[in-house]
Amino acid sequence: MKLLIIEDEQSLLKSIVQYFNQEKFLCETAVSYEDGIRKIEDFQYDCIILDINLPGGSGLQLLKYLRQNKNKDGVIIISARDSLDDRITGLDIGADDYLTKPFHLSELNARVRALIRRKKAEGASILETGVLKVDLSSRTVVSAGQNMPLSKIEYDLLLFLMTNKNRVVSRQAIAEHIYDGPSEQVPSSDFVYSHIKNLKRKLKERGCHEMIQTIYGLGYKLTP
């Protein structure tokens, strides 16, 4: 799958590229407005990750140009500006998602994959990892043919870990992902522990031992 990352901050760009390369994505990069336009015209991408503040023009302008040319590539805006207005403007112009800096790469990964899934499957879709099968439209999980009832938080948690499978996901990233209040008010990530514990217990009951590993005090990793 092919990604275009338009971001002028070299260091951040490098991180994103490295992360998605590890996820077996093909990554193209652009560091300015003109650069971005050229890359858009040359190829088709499964997803474009777009910064708003770019040298040579705004990411929103670029997005407008893209949509005017009937380009249907998925676009995720990443921006340091976090106001409802910015968000609405971005989504109005035709962005598929909006992520505020600073974000966790695992979160960006989850968003990119969700977007690609939506674009490809057009509705019903099943996510499979090992013995786990998640029906995304009905939000149900089946483990080795057995139904596994989960709470909303546990479902979100499992899906997030599955999307980032074989990777260590930090507690903070999980906390931000599953908390649905104002982003300034994410409570301390301590609460993640008890939900992981519940999820682990339920997985164990269905025969999925050690599927979720605790990585020291850092975070968690799901291996199929």
Rule CB under 8 A: which residues touch other proteins?
Answer: 9, 11-12, 15-16, 18-19, 22, 80-84, 101-106, 151-153, 167-168, 170-173, 179-191, 194-195, 198, 215-219
State the minimum distance, in angstroms, from the CB of residue 68 to other proteins. 29
- 61, 37 Cβ separation under 8 angstroms: no
Q: Which of 106, 127, 115 is nearest to 178 (CA)?
A: 106
3 state DSSP class of 30: strand
State the minimum distance, in angstroms, from the CB of residue 185 to other proteins. 4
State the minimum distance, in angstroms, from the CB of residue 144 to other proteins. 26
State the minimum distance, in angstroms, from the CB of residue 131 to other proteins. 24
Residue number with CB closer to other proteins (21 or 146): 21
State the minimum distance, in angstroms, from the CB of residue 182 to other proteins. 6
Residue number with CB closer to other proteins (66 or 175): 175
Hunting for tokens 């997030």 — which residue is that?
160
Give 141-149's long-range contacts (Cβ < 8 A, gap of 24+).
Answer: 143/203, 143/206, 143/207, 143/208, 144/206, 144/207, 144/208, 146/206, 148/202, 148/203, 148/206
Q: Which of 221, 127, 112 is nearest to 167 (CA)?
A: 221
Residue number with CB closer to other proteins (65 or 179): 179
Residue number with CB closer to other proteins (66 or 167): 167
Residue number with CB closer to other proteins (122 or 216): 216
